[in-house]
Amino acid sequence: MSTRVPRRAYGGVSAGERIAARREKLLDAGLELFGTRGFAATGVKDVCREAGLTDRYFYESFANNEALFLAVFDRLTDDLFAAVAVAVGDAGDNAAGQLRSAISAFVDALVADSRKPRVLFMEAAAAGPDAAAHMRATLRRFATLVAATARRHLPPATSDEEVQLVALSLVGLLERAITDREEGALGMPAERLVDQCVSLYVTFLGALANTAPGRPGGRPAAARRG
């Protein structure tokens, strides 16, 4: 029989709740420091100092700084995709409206807080291969969401590969544009960035729709792979 003593609640707050609250403080501290100083300039003690906690509580939740970075990254992407999904759901059935809502939610969330694009796009490589893979997976997830939104408004015969390729092109454009904007290399206001990306993507989708097999002027199915 186990003699392990259960952790007690203090002030009506359970041990699990206290651990979760400390973890949130560490995540907040990680976002602040990784998003301002950068990963390479941030150590465990820096994070603990920012969070007002000791090293003991850091290792209660995270094995190392890389694990904290991944957790900060995942929290950001979860929040970002939830915001995009809500925006698309509220946009009605118009294809351009859904696309604008998705892109606006994505761009607005990132340009409103410069720490977020730095963590998502600029510090992942410094944090190691796992974080870099997370960044690539995040871009693919957003491209998949954009492609799924577009697919509902395209002829059924439109190639899935072509829709995904155009979606990846848009997401790659957004990532580079937001990064360059944060670094001062692109002075375009966020609203104009959204307008330009929507215009480009609608043009691309129109081209796909018009060249889909079975449409007037479209390619025969055998020609899709060139």
Long-range contacts of 146-151, Cβ-Cβ distance < 8 Å, separation of 24 or more: 146/99, 146/102, 146/170, 146/171, 146/201, 149/88, 149/95, 149/98, 149/99, 149/102, 150/95, 150/99, 150/201, 150/205
CB under 8 Å to 46, separation ≥6 — which residues?
Answer: 33, 37
- Count of C-beta atoms within a 10 Å radius of residue 219: 15
How far apart are alpha carbons 11 and 4 in whole angstroms?
Answer: 22
Inform me whether the pLDDT recorded for 123 exceeds 90. Answer: yes
Q: Which domains does the chain have, with CATH numbers?
A: 10-62 (1.10.10.60), 66-216 (1.10.357.10)
CB under 8 Å to 194, separation ≥6 — which residues?
Answer: 100, 103, 104, 107
How far apart are alpha carbons 151 and 147 in whole angstroms?
Answer: 6
* pLDDT band at residue 224 using 50, 70 and 90 as cut-offs: very low
* pLDDT band at residue 4 using 50, 70 and 90 as cut-offs: very low
Token digits of residue 57: 């509580």
Q: Are 158 and 209 in contact (CB under 8 A)?
A: yes
pLDDT for 59-75, tens place per residue? 999 999 999 999 999 99
pTM: 0.84
pLDDT for 184-195, tens place per residue? 999 999 999 999
Place of tokens 């950068």: 38
Return the biggest CA–CA distance within the chain: 77
